[in-house]
């Protein structure tokens, strides 16, 4: 969806902002949930919006990093995921006595760095005229991307 976003803020930044605002609200619902169905609702909200945020952040790699450096940068980012998971576990342990802080402290720390990225990012802007239409050629009836859409994804971007 961020590939089709023609916002004045850019293609990726709006999805980062939406995920950064609504994802922690889902975590807040989980933290304050009185029963399992509310936990499920909060978890679904958090997953949908954090995944929208993650998808936009993953799309920044081909937008901002040259083809020659993508492997190295991708490797560094891949190492950061388990480091962040372990670090988040220690942050949660620091706040074991306070359930609300235990849930929201990792959101606040991660949110700070995401906000830093969003503010400093030189985000691509898609002109409304260049916005691809959601035509049948993009996704086939089976739900799998067609050869046309796959080849479009593999073409290098000219707007760097």
Per-residue pLDDT tens over the stretch 91-126:
889 988 888 888 898 889 888 988 888 888 776 666
Per-residue pLDDT tens over the stretch 86-98:
998 998 899 888 8
Q: What is the predicted pLDDT for the residue at 42?
A: 96
Per-residue pLDDT tens over the stretch 50-59:
988 888 888 7
**pTM for this one?**
0.68
Q: How far apart are CA 132 and CA 146, in angstroms?
A: 15
Between 154 and 33, residue with greater pLDDT: 33
For residue 78, pLDDT beyond 70: yes
Asked if residue 53 lies in contact with residue 20, where contact means CB atoms within 8 angstroms, the answer is yes
DSSP code of 135? -
Q: What is the predicted pLDDT for the residue at 63?
A: 72
Sequence-ordered list of residues with C-beta below 8 angstroms from that of 99, at least 6 positions apart, any chain: 31
Asked if residue 30 lies in contact with residue 131, where contact means CB atoms within 8 angstroms, the answer is no
């Amino acid at each position: 969806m961020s590939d089709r976003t023609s916002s004045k803020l850019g293609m990726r930044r709006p999805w980062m902002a939406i995920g950064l605002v609504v994802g922690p609200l889902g975590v807040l619902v989980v933290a304050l949930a009185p029963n399992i169905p509310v936990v499920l609702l909060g978890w679904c909200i958090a997953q949908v919006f954090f995944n929208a945020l993650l998808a936009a952040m993953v799309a920044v790699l081909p937008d901002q990093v040259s083809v020659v450096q993508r492997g190295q940068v991708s490797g560094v980012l891949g190492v950061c995921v388990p480091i962040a998971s372990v670090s988040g576990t220690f942050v949660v342990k620091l706040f074991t006595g306070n359930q609300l802080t235990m849930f929201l402290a990792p959101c606040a720390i991660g949110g700070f760095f995401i906000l830093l990225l969003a503010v400093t990012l030189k985000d691509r802007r898609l002109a409304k005229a260049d916005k691809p239409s959601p035509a049948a050629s993009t996704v086939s009836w089976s739900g799998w991307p067609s050869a046309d859409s796959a080849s479009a994804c593999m073409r290098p971007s000219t707007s760097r």
